[in-house]
Amino acid sequence: MGRAAAAKRGRREERLGVGLTANGSTDRIIRFCAVFVALQVATQALYYGLFLNSRPFQVYLHLVAASAAAVLRLLGRGVTCEFDMLHGGFDMSIRSGCDGLQAMAIFASAVVAYPASWTRRTQGLLAGVASLLGINIVRIATLFLVGAEWPQHFESAHVQVWPALLILCAVLLWAAWASRATSSPQTA
Amino acid sequence: MGFARDFFSSDGLTVLPRRLLARLIAIAVVAFAVLMLAGPWLFYPPVYRATGQTLFSSFGGDRIVRFEPVPGGGGLHDTRIEIGLRAGGRDEIASGMPVNSVREGYVPIAVVVALCAGLFFVRRPRLSPVLIAIAATEGFVILRLWVALVYGFSRVGVGDHYLLELSAPLRPVVSLANAILGTDLHGTYVVPILIWAMTCLRASNLPADGQVDPAPGLARSESSPATPATETPKERLRRV
């Protein structure tokens, strides 16, 4: 962003009396958080209101289950996939909340809210969402292995460990992207 | 390269160099793991139940709320929140919701404490934003519990009435709020991170160079050079 545009935005914010820190600089963190929260509310409303019981969601769950089954077969497990169920010594169903979509929404909201060029944002969204998709398939495969081999640890791995890891992955991916976007000459 | 190489810069969002950010995340992850390995399921559920009982024992009118331990414990759910009505001097429980109190209450606090610990080791924040962050996270825990109770009362009926009658436009709002705040696991982690970012990470809440020594073990040169006497606040922010 050019100096003139930045100065103009600063003057506008000063006139509106918003977005200023105690030392007079624009408080971008507050703005980032506000945009992030707005996008999160919108994506969550779409997820729970429209997407959750839709046909595309069922297809998506099947694709995730089939991908996880393929990974497990590569590891030598005799796993079959039936719609959103994995069978083979342990039965596991993939449901809402286990789909990885919310981690992707968190990442996407953070990328869109961050002050970078749209080119950088698009690149970040494609790479980050693809990465999180892959991480979620690894998550499901490892949960299946834990359930089959150490069933007493399944709930803690499912409810405590992997949600934290998935969010950590989303935050790290965003930090890595934002770091590149900030140091790039394309930065807005 | 200067500030352009810094992850936290005035042209970006934040105020720490990339290397310090990596250290912050690493320390926060270790601190969170330590807090989770401390065995919160042993000591936290009674605290959660006592706090909930104190705050929500009466939910307006004759509505009552009870926080009871799950018999046997040790499973996914350690607490059962029972809702009902007080009628004729007797408590009639209409329904109950199983809750994992560690996930609902302890984990958000652990996340924000771990992030504050990480920040303390890379760049000492002021104490007041840290306390505000912890208090705000407690507020989030109470808010999600309140939303879950409103949702529960609005879904359970006695005869042809719900225990809590909501207007038609409010019902989907409460349902969505409960799905986002109560059901969804990710809010447990994301909301504390946001609260921490908005309180502790704001540039104005981090001491400028020269005001406070860097955290123990950090070389001064790693943080930044000395502040020139003529530097403006904006230039200082850029350089931090």
Q: Above 60 in pLDDT, residue B18? A: yes
Cβ-contact B207, B16 below 8 angstroms: no
A106-119 pLDDT, tens digit each: 999 999 988 888 99
From chain B, the residues in CB contact with A111 under 8 A are none
From chain B, the residues in CB contact with A102 under 8 A are 184, 186
CA dihedral B190, B195, B198, B199 (to 10 degrees): -150
Check B25 against A175: CB less than 8 A apart: yes
A43-86 pLDDT, tens digit each: 988 888 888 889 999 999 999 999 999 999 999 888 999 888 99
Using DSSP, state whether B142 is helix, strand or coil: helix
Structure tokens at B233: 């606040």
Distance between CA atoms of residues B46 and B40, nearest Å = 10
Check B176 against A45: CB less than 8 A apart: yes
| pLDDT: which is higher, A59 or B60 | A59
**A142/chain B closest Cα distance in angstroms:** 19
Closest CA to B153 of B168, B161, B145, B163: B163
Cβ-contact A29, A114 below 8 angstroms: no
Mutation target to probe the B interface, by most B beta carbons within 10 A, among A101, A112, A114, A160 is A160
Distance between CA atoms of residues B24 and B200, nearest Å = 13
Check A155 against B184: CB less than 8 A apart: no
From chain B, the residues in CB contact with A48 under 8 A are 176, 179-180
Closest CA to A54 of A97, A96, A98: A96
* Nearest beta carbon to residue B184 from set A1, A102, A160: A102
List the 198-237 stretch of B: residues with Cβ below 8 A of A.
198, 201-204, 208, 233-234, 236-237
Structure tokens at A36: 């992030």
Beta carbons within 10 angstroms of residue A43's beta carbon: 18
Cβ-contact B140, B195 below 8 angstroms: yes
List the 8-27 stretch of B: residues with Cβ below 8 A of A.
9-14, 18, 21, 25
Check B233 against A25: CB less than 8 A apart: yes
pLDDT at B203: 55
As for the ipTM of the complex, it is 0.72
Cβ-contact B54, B66 below 8 angstroms: no
Structure tokens at A150: 């150490």
Check B186 against A172: CB less than 8 A apart: no
Query: What average pLDDT does chain A have?
Result: 82
Query: What average pLDDT does chain B have?
Result: 77
**B56/chain A closest Cα distance in angstroms:** 26
Structure tokens at A171: 């935050």
| pLDDT: which is higher, B240 or A121 | A121
**Lowest mean pLDDT: which of A51-55, B33-37, B56-60, B220-224?**
B220-224
Q: Above 60 in pLDDT, residue A136? A: yes
Mutation target to probe the B interface, by most B beta carbons within 10 A, among A39, A46, A132, A182 is A182
The percentage of chain B sitting over the pLDDT mark of 70, rounded to a whole number, equals 75
Q: Above 80 in pLDDT, residue A39? A: yes
CA dihedral B16, B22, B23, B26 (to 10 degrees): 140
pLDDT at A3: 64
B-chain residue closest to A3, CA distance: B11
List the 58-87 stretch of B: residues with Cβ below 8 A of A.
75-76
Check A164 against B32: CB less than 8 A apart: yes
* Nearest beta carbon to residue B237 from set A25, A163, A175: A25
* Nearest beta carbon to residue A49 from set B29, B176, B185: B176
Find residue A80's DSSP bridge partners: A87
B98 phi, psi to nearest 5 deg: -75, 140
Check A36 against B194: CB less than 8 A apart: yes
Cβ-contact A129, A110 below 8 angstroms: no
